[in-house]
Chain A
């Protein structure tokens, strides 16, 4: 007789129920991430409160009620109650070029464009003719020098007229490019077995690290004149560039030394065993590994250096902040300092953020040693 009991026999797996509604979708995500515990919830509400109280009025001021036209602050205020960006617009050329002569500004633009080309081989690995581009990069300082100051066929432009973003980039890039090789040499010198060289390197590095940059800039701007014979004039910008380069070289040296110390002795010994000379072992074995370790530190110093260039406004060179300060004293526009500082902050943020992303890209690209 057939089994007629009514007991239920499952013929397969029953259909899975959907997860509880409060753990999926938007609500689930919110519960999971924003209100997991009462403390999380409190933090979320606090953050929301901050957004409403700070961010909304800021956006309102920066964009919604801002005015973009007008020839003076009064006219600006008549259009909108918020930020007056017309001021930045009117003075944008000054913020970018400083006092560089109007008809010669194409030279700055060209120098900027050529600078971008030097960056191409750094960013793209597979660009054709990469070695030639690197070679061009080595020539670039001379080209930029010729373009910016003039000579031969181009009319000469006094460095006194340099200013604004152009000055910041000039000081920053010069400091960065020249301080890296100098810093590496200093780091190697400091670890050298030759007493004289290592003592000199230590003395230099410790001196630089013991003195604030602003002091060095003051020495560059005023004190050096006391030491030179009367009548010699030595371009202020060149003095500043030298000081900035030396300053950051001192710091780079220490960062690179940290990288060098992280390389096990065995590497050096292996290089010796292979019969490599000092420069061969340093350039083929030690430095490639040490610099890779030192990248975050080095980029950190570069970013710091780039921001420190604003200090030159104290010794009478007009970086964007100095330009802004002078422009703000025009009675037509006076009182718009927030707009100026925001604009300058935005410029620095864009530059420094780009540098920081580039360093992360470099680290990923060179991460080979730990992938085994």
Chain B
């Protein structure tokens, strides 16, 4: 219990003592829990179920990492963050990793000093409008009011795109996805813009989804992925390769349930991943079975996708760009050797 360390912490501050910088991996193991930043809630991507557990496409990554590192996918402490607070929270060390549909950009990578561990969803920014507006292209949106989440790339993309196309608009700044949805439904803005996946998810929750259209323009590239702080490459590698293993398993059609049996199978790459050949886990600072556990947490990438946001769910997203490279998508994990 952390409360007890309050006085200790105060004492250490008072005497100016400073402990040696431990690696994130050691911190996580010592704490026994993975501190993971997520969003305050995006349908399919992060939500609480009726038992009060965080679930969704993003928490699934946290759970896989926790399973690989701590051996238990439930050992995750979730910190909900907004578009504005997420980077401060990660930079200050409040959380160990951030999995919150965050776009990989130059300035976030270089200037804010984060390391992106990869891409778990290729997205692009779109526009949602009521069909009664009679608009068929984003370029017709002159003079409209636009609901937009602050502190996001979408905010900047929108300004650039409309400036280039000489479209004047009135921004309605919003803090969270749920607020944006409520404001849009209440008619406070004519247009809601965010990543197309989020738009589809929001639209699926409307009373009459058919009365709203997503405009054809996709105005940006939004590669979303988990990220960690600069300066701890071992930890970044762990998150990166947990994600890659999920993707490779999807490519090879190995489900989470099969991971155990396939471990001694004929495919040498799977053997390396699943710990029956070589000592790849040890190179990461983990044990042999880390990848088996990561896959057992929620299944491979495809299973996670299908479970939370796929076409079978109410969110109903097609794999599209996020299909494997062998199937017309651009999901392409580096080889495991």
Interface residues in chain A, defined as those with a beta carbon under 8 Å from any beta carbon in chain B: 73, 77, 90-91, 93-94, 98-99, 145, 149-151, 156, 158-160, 218, 221-223, 225-236, 238, 313-316, 318, 322-323, 325-332, 334-335, 337
Contacts and interface: CB of A to CB of B under 8 A. Distances in A.
Interface string B27-62: 100010100010011111111111010101000000
B12 A232 contact: yes
Interface string B187-225: 000000000000001101111000000000000000000
Given A160-B77, A323-B48, A327-B47, A231 B1 contact: no
The list of the 3 closest CB pairs from A to B, nearest first, reads A329-B41, A334-B205, A329-B47
A331 B77 CA distance: 22
Contact of A231 (B21, B56, B82, B176): B21
28 contacts: A77-B207, A90-B50, A98-B52, A150-B1, A158-B33, A158-B77, A221-B92, A222-B91, A229-B17, A229-B19, A231-B27, A232-B5, A232-B8, A233-B2, A233-B9, A235-B2, A326-B40, A326-B46, A329-B42, A329-B47, A329-B56, A330-B48, A330-B49, A331-B47, A331-B204, A331-B205, A334-B204, A335-B207
B173 interface: no
A296 B299 CA distance: 59
B94 interface: yes
B176 to A, nearest CB: 6
A243 B177 CA distance: 28
B82 A314 contact: yes
Contacts of B8: 232
Given A230-B18, A329-B43, A222 B94 contact: yes
A91 to B, nearest CB: 7
Contact of A238 (B6, B204, B206): B6
B283 interface: no
Interface in B8-22: 8-9, 12-13, 17-22
Contacts of A228: 9, 12-13
Contacts of A323: 48
B129 interface: no
A131 B45 CA distance: 54
Nearest to B54: A326
Given A91-B50, A228-B9, A326-B80, 8 more contacts: A149-B3, A225-B93, A229-B17, A235-B2, A316-B79, A316-B89, A326-B41, A331-B205
B47 A330 contact: yes
Contacts of B50: 90-91, 330
Interface string B94-129: 100000000000000000000000000000000000
Given A99-B52, A235-B2, A331 B313 contact: yes
Interface of B: 1-3, 5-6, 8-9, 12-13, 17-22, 27, 31, 33, 37, 40-50, 52, 54, 56, 77, 79-82, 85, 88-89, 91-94, 175-178, 181-182, 185, 201-202, 204-207, 313-315
B52 A159 contact: no
A159 B5 CA distance: 13
Contacts, number: 152
Contacts of A332: 314
A223 B92 contact: yes
Contacts of B41: 325-329
Given A158-B2, A229-B12, A238-B6, A329 B27 contact: no
A332 B313 CA distance: 10
A326 B47 contact: yes
Contact of B40 (A93, A231, A322): A322
A156 B1 CA distance: 7
Contact of B13 (A160, A227, A314): A227
A236 B47 CA distance: 22
A230 B21 contact: yes
Given A225-B93, A331-B47, A335-B205, A234 B21 contact: no
B13 A149 contact: no
B13 A316 contact: no
B40 A232 contact: no
A90 B89 CA distance: 31
A326 B41 CA distance: 5
Contacts of A150: 1
Contacts of B17: 229
Nearest to B15: A229
A160 B52 CA distance: 13
A234 B12 CA distance: 11
A226 B41 CA distance: 28
Contacts of B182: 337
Contacts of B202: 334
Contacts of A160: 77
A150 B202 CA distance: 40
Most chain A C-beta atoms within 10 Å of own C-beta, residue among B37, B40, B85: B40
Contact of A232 (B19, B48, B85, B89): B19
B9 A337 contact: no
B48 A316 contact: no
A151 B92 contact: no
A222 B50 CA distance: 30
Given A316-B80, A330-B48, A337-B181, A230 B19 contact: yes
A329 B5 contact: no
Contacts of A334: 43, 181, 202, 204-205
Contacts of A238: 3, 6
Nearest to B43: A331
Contacts of B40: 313, 322, 325-326, 329
Contacts of A328: 41, 47, 178
A335 B206 contact: yes
A230 B77 contact: no
A100 to B, nearest CB: 9
A314 B94 contact: no
Contacts of B33: 158
B3 A159 contact: yes
Contact of A149 (B1, B77, B88): B1
